[in-house]
Amino acid sequence: MGDKKLKVLAVCGMGLGSSLVLKMTIEKALKELNLEGEVQTADIVTAKGASLDADLIITSKELAEQFGSVSVPIVTVKNYVDVKEFVEGIKKILNL
C-alpha cells in the first residue's frame, strides 16, 4: 500500500457495540500487518454511503450481502475478536 493510509470501515447492524469490537480487532490486525490505517465504525445504512470513501469494508457475511454491488473490497469475518481471521482476510483481499 506504500505510504497511503488505509481507510477501513467496520460495519455492524446498529453501528454501536459490535462495530467498536470490530474496530479494535481491525486495528490489531493492521498493526500485525504493519499497515497504517484509519478505522471508522458504521451501521449498515450509513456504511452504504460511507463506503464510497473507504478502501476496505470489514463486516459479517450476513451484512456483506446487504451491500449489493459496491466497488470497495469486503472482508467477511465470523469471529469479531479473532485477530488471525482478520489478518488472513485482509491479506487475501489486499494480495499481501
CA–CA distance, 80 with 23 (Å, rounded to integer)? 9
pLDDT tens figures, 30-67: 999 999 999 999 988 888 876 778 999 999 999 999 88
pLDDT, position 46? 86
The answer, yes or no, to whether residue 2 has pLDDT greater than 60, is no
Rounded to 5°, the CA angle 73-37-44 comes to 50
The number of helix segments (H) and strand segments (E) in the chain equals 4, 4
Q: Does the reported pTM lie above 0.85?
A: yes
- What is the distance, to the nearest Å, from the Cα of residue 67 to the centroid of all Cα atoms in its chain? 13
Tell me the average pLDDT of the chain: 89
pLDDT, position 3? 58
